Structures are given as structure tokens and as C-alpha cells.
Amino acid sequence: MRVRQLTLAAAALLLAVGGPAGCSGAPVPARPPEPVPVSAAPTAVTGDLPPYDRAGIREGGTLRWALDAVPATLNVHAPAATADSALLAQALYPSLFRPDRHGRPVPDPDYLESAESTPPGQLPQVVTYRLNPRAVWSDGTPLSVADFTAQRAALSGRDPAYTAARPAGYDAIDSITQGADRSEVKVVLRRSCAGWQNLFGPLYPAVDTATPAAFDRPLTGATAGHPTAGPFTVSGYDVPGGRVTLVRNPLWWGETPKADRIDFLATPAERRLDALDQDRLDIAPITTAVDRASAAPGSSGDAADTVDAAARALRRAEALPGVTVHRAAAASLTQLTLNAARGPLTDPAVRQALARSVDRRRTADAALTPFGLAPAPLGSHLLAGDQDGYRDNGDVLGPVDAGRLLDRAGWKRPASGGTRTKDGRSLVLTLLIPADSALARRTADALTAGLASAGIALRPVPVPAEAFVPGHLATGDYDLALFAWPAGPDPAADQRPVYAKPRPGPDGALEPGDNYGRVGTEEIDRLLDRAAAELDGTARSALLQEADTRIWQLGHSVPLYQRPELVAVRDDVAAAGAWGFTRPRFQDVGFLAR
């Protein structure tokens, strides 16, 4: 599930390009080593979860887990939802499928005995779920067709009174009925939905979704009338105090949770390394703590200090006694977005020349190597490096030299070299980057050095999170922008809003929606729509590759890399790390037997 809204929560999601970063402190060299061909570059590995054996995890104990803040709601579809809402919901609510390490949905037997869909080409598509008959809400009520029906009503978009984000697929549902018994649910879709496994995850009880009034209530799980159905249940929800306490669910039917209790503690990024050092946390994402270390009081905030502070923070994290820093490529696609509605970038030839001029290998090296990660450049707008069907399509731009394209477009290079000009104007482009981010700064330095060789000058513009989306991306006040979109299990549906052709609004002006590149084609829209409806995996993959090829050729954006993900875990804790596409199996997370 991904919520796309122009809010601070959305800004934080988009700016995750800087969140999980850190640096070695080494400056980007003026003359870097010769880049290796992108095709020879390593592939990103999403997630770093060490293997474990449940038998070696002891019973009991309290885990201390860092949150950014106690969320205002556990309803991941509500406007106030955050990443912390999603994390807590994973411990408390059913998801019929779980993503594996490659992002593929697999049935969760705690909730689902089986699920079958009609074969490709057959309409209507009918999905038959066979629920685990032991699965019950915390008030003892079995999971049932009523919960499915209410959630579809809330998320289909048919009733505007629901103030909800609308994940793909719910609007395609025609009917939901009970099957042979209360454990069987039949869902009929009027059009094929390739991502049907992503529906009803998480599934909420009907009492919390059946009416707009119920849906809009703050969902904290701490009061009567908010049933849950996970291995844990809520025993305390203290927003001002910054603590959510989960305890074992006495009605849980699956494997007994190893920990007695989990305390989720609101711990600002700038305090996380101290909290780990003082043995006040067991599990803590530290990407933001490392990347934005220069934002701490007393820092100058200039480019060199940003990089140096991040390097010092990473070294400190790695030296914490009794703590291991797990690192991996996140399920997040960092890209350089080109604003096709402004200045020189309105010319497709200039966009194509710029895309050809970006040295993705060098950029990935500058961004990822300081974390001990493979400098794996990203070559797809739609898929992460270890998702099924991933392919680097950058070579579709062809062998035409970027300089020749710019020459033909009228942007000439002075005889002495330097920045190109046309009609007295220099080819200088602004580059929007998250403020105080070492990763963004290093990436910007690498891009600036690389594009200078083609005669394109960049002027980095650091912008704080609260202004990045509403003040710049949404209004078009930028030339180039550096940020990340999350990679999900249903790339066609998940990424379509990013590349959808802008349409005229009521006043005739184009409305970009989530397409901050402000350019698209009917063909790309059709390819993504077909992929979203294609149930045959091979055919769907071919459509995704064709769509990605067209996005490359359009000059919408340049994929760069998957951002780093850093998670600090105390050495006596098992079943925790950098999860990537996967998610915690909360009943397994606990302390190693001594």
C-alpha cells in the first residue's frame, strides 16, 4: 500500500532518498575512475535479514523498538497515516499475503488457507479466499465476509464521504459474497486485476470501516470497539508520552510470540544513536540519524559539513558496543526527475541528451559505496534490482552522442569549453535536493561533475521536507529534482500515477497529479493499464519492459539507484534486520537463548 498525498507524510516518503543515508566523508573526486559498463555493474540486494531458528529464540522479554512518532492512526488508508502506522498495523491486523524478499506476494497461512483466481483471459475475474477458520478478531468475532465488504465500500471510491486513499483494485470489485461456509469469501472483479493478492492487506474489522464516521475515527487500537487480529494486541497507546505497548494476543491461534511485550518508543532521529549507546533501544532504523547528522545543533549545514557529519555518525553507529548495523538496498527507486514543462527541458532532445549524459554507475558509486553496499545503478523506472522481471533498459537511448543532440537543439559549447549557450542563455539547471541530506549532496556532486562534461551546469537547491512537495514538485518550481518512489509488489498499478499523461483540469490547465515530470503519452498509459490487468506473469513482464522503454525514450526521468537502508539491531535480538520488501514476522522477533 502506498499513500500518495501532498502532505508532510508524503514529503517524508518522497524524501526517503536522503533518509537512509550516510557517507564515508571522502569527497567526490574531480576525475573519477573510468566507469564500468552499466550492464557489468552489480545488482542491488533488497533487504538484509540474517537467517534464524525459532528454536533458538527464548520465550519472554520486552523488545524496545524505535518509532519516529506515535502515529495518530493505525488506519494505513487514512490521510494521517505514516510509515509508523504501517509498521504497527503489520503486528496487529491481518494481511492475507506477505511479500517475500523479491517482493512477490505469498499466502500467510495464519490468515489464509488458500486463494485461487480464475485463469488469464476469463472475465469476470473471480477470486476465492479460504480463510483460516481459527482466525478471529480480539473480541472473539471470526474474520468474515462482512470485513471484506466494508473495506471495499471504504476504499472503492464510490462513496466520497470516505476520506481515504484508494489503493488500486478496490474500484474493480463488483461483488463480495460468502462461499460454501463462513470461511470462504468470493470476490468478483469486473476487470482483471494482476495485483489482486495485494487487496485486503491489511484487513480491518467491519466495525472500523463500515461507515464513513467509523472510518474517520482515530484508530489507535487502545479503546473498546477497535478489534485487532495479530500476534500482539495493544495494551497502551500514549501519543503525548511517545509510547505504544503491545502484548501477546491471548486469542492468537498461530505460533506463540517469542517476546512478551514490544514497546514502540518515539525516538527522534537525532537521538537514536544516543539511545542505542545508552541501551535504551533494541531495534532502530538509523538511516535518517546518519544521513541528516549535520542538521544537529551546532552544525554549519554547508555541503562539506553535511557529508563529514554523516560519515562521523555512521562510524559511531558501527562502533556501538553490542549492536550490529544491517544494511541493504531499500525497496525504493531513487530517480532524477526532469521537469518537461519548464525552460530548456521542454525540448525532448535536451531531455534525451541529459539522460544520456548521466553516469549512473558513477552516481551509484558515490551514493552507495560509503555504506559498504554494491554500487548498483538502477536501470528501470518500475522495478527494483532484485524484483522478478528487472532489466536495465538504459541502453534503449541508443548510441547517439549527447553533445550532438545538444548541438542540433541549438545549445552550442564555447570554443574554450564550459557551459553551453543558446540565444545568450546558459544551459544552467536547478537541481532540487532534500536539505541536510549527505546522500543527496553526494549524489548532486556526482551528477554535477558528470553533466558538466556535456556542457550542462547544475545548481543544487536544498529544500526542507515540508516545502519539497507542496512548494516545488507540485507547483513545478524546479528544473531537476532528486527523490525516491517506493517500489511495491504491483509495479504497474503502483507506478502508473508517476508516469500518467497529465490531463486538462476544469480551467484548461494541465493537472500533473503525481507525475512531477509533467510529460506522458497515451501509449505509456495503455501499457501500464494492460500490465495492471494482465494475469499471466510472462506477458505482464513484457508489458512492463515495453512501458519502461517508452519512459526512457520520453526523457521523463533517469533511474539512479535504490537508496541505502540502515537498521541497528542489538546482537542478542533475532529475526530483525533491514527488511527490504519483506516485513517483520512479529511472533518470531525476540531474544536469543543464552
What's the confidence (pLDDT) of residue 298? 55
pLDDT at 593: 92
Check whether 120 has a pLDDT greater than 50: yes
Amino acid at 56: G
b/e sequence 516-540, b meaning 16+ C-beta within 10 Å: bbbbbbeebeebbbbbbbbbeeeeb
Dihedral, CA of residue 362, residue 368, residue 371 and residue 374, to nearest 10: -90
Per-residue pLDDT at 19: 32
- Mean pLDDT over residues 380-408, rounded? 93
Instruction: Please report, as a single letter, which amino acid is at residue 442.
Output: R
Residue 411 has what pLDDT?
Answer: 98
In this predicted structure, what is the pLDDT of residue 77? Answer: 94
Q: Is the dihedral of CA 321, 319, 313, 567 positive or negative?
A: negative
Cα(120)–Cα(115) distance, integer angstroms:
15
**Higher confidence at residue 299 or residue 173?**
173
CA dihedral (121, 192, 497, 362) in degrees, to 10, reads -50
pTM tops 0.85: yes
CA 117 to chain centre: 27
Contact 444, 334 (CB under 8 A): no
pLDDT at 69 over 50: yes
User: Facing residues of 238 across strands?
Assistant: 243
pLDDT tens digits, one per residue of 546-570: 999 999 999 999 999 999 999 999 9
Cα torsion through 14, 20, 24, 29, rounded to 10: -20
Helix (H) or strand (E) holding 274: helix 269-277
User: Of all helices (H) and strands (E), which one includes residue 510?
Assistant: strand 510-511
Strand partners, 329: 46, 564
- The answer to whether residue 24 scores a pLDDT higher than 50 is no
Give the whole-angstrom CA distance, residue 95 versus residue 104: 14
Residue 429 has pLDDT above 60, yes or no: yes
What band does 371 get if pLDDT is binned at 50, 70 and 90? confident
Instruction: State the pLDDT confidence band at 372, using cuts at 50, 70 and 90.
Output: confident
Of residues 34 and 480, the one with the higher pLDDT is 480
Is pLDDT at 85 greater than 90 in this prediction? yes
Asked if pLDDT for residue 60 goes beyond 50, the answer is yes
Burial of 72 (0-12, 13-18, 19+ CB in 10 A): middle
Least confident of 20-34, 210-224, 387-401, 407-421: 20-34
Other beta carbons less than 10 A from residue 407's beta carbon: 16
pLDDT at residue 8 above 90? no
Give the per-residue pLDDT at 501.
97
Condensed to tens digits (0 to 9), the pLDDT of residues 184-226 reads: 999 999 999 999 999 999 999 999 999 999 998 989 977 667 9
Instruction: Output the CA torsion sign for 568, 571, 573, 575.
Output: positive
Tally Cβ neighbours within 10 Å of residue 268.
Answer: 14
**CA atoms of 449 and 30, how far apart (whole Å):** 7
Share the mean pLDDT of the chain: 90
> How many angstroms separate the CA atoms of 184 and 210, rounded?
20
Q: Please report where in the chains the cell 483494485 appears, as a residue.
A: 169
Task: Using alpha carbons, select from 139, 133, 171, 137 the residue that is nearest to residue 152.
Answer: 171
- Would you state the pLDDT for residue 446? 97
Name the residue ranges covered by the structural domains of the chain: 8-47+332-565
What average pLDDT does range 37-60 have in this prediction? 80
For helices 438-452 and 348-357, give the axis angle rounded to 10 degrees: 110
Mean pLDDT for the stretch of residues 117-125: 94
Q: Residue 112's pLDDT band (boundaries 50, 70, 90)?
A: very high
Summarised one tens digit per residue, pLDDT across range 502-519 is 999 888 888 999 999 999
Using pLDDT thresholds of 50, 70 and 90, give the confidence band for residue 573: very high
- Write out the DSSP string of 96-162: SEEE-TTS-EEE-TTTEEEEEEPPTT-SSEEEEEEE-TT-B-TTSPBP-HHHHHHHHHHHSSS-TTS
SS3 state at 498: helix
pLDDT tens by residue, 488-506: 889 999 999 999 999 998 8
Residues whose CB is less than 8 angstroms from the CB of residue 506 and which lie 6 or more positions away in sequence, other chains included? none
pLDDT at res. 2? 37
Distance of alpha carbon 387 from alpha carbon 581, whole angstroms: 9
- What local confidence, expressed as pLDDT, does residue 4 receive? 40
Is the separation of the CB atoms in 319 and 31 below 8 Å? Answer: no
Q: Which of 484, 65, 98 is nearest to 291 (CA)?
A: 484
DSSP type of residue 413: P
Contact 366, 355 (CB under 8 A): no
Which residue from 559, 591, 592 is spatially nearest to 61, judged by alpha carbons? Answer: 591
For residue range 275-304, list pLDDT tens digits in order: 999 999 999 999 999 999 987 655 555 778
- CATH of the domain spanning 8-47+332-565: 3.10.105.10
pLDDT surpassing 60 at residue 331: yes
Element (H, E) at 441: helix 438-452
Q: Count the neighbouring beta carbons within 10 Å of the beta carbon of residue 50.
A: 12
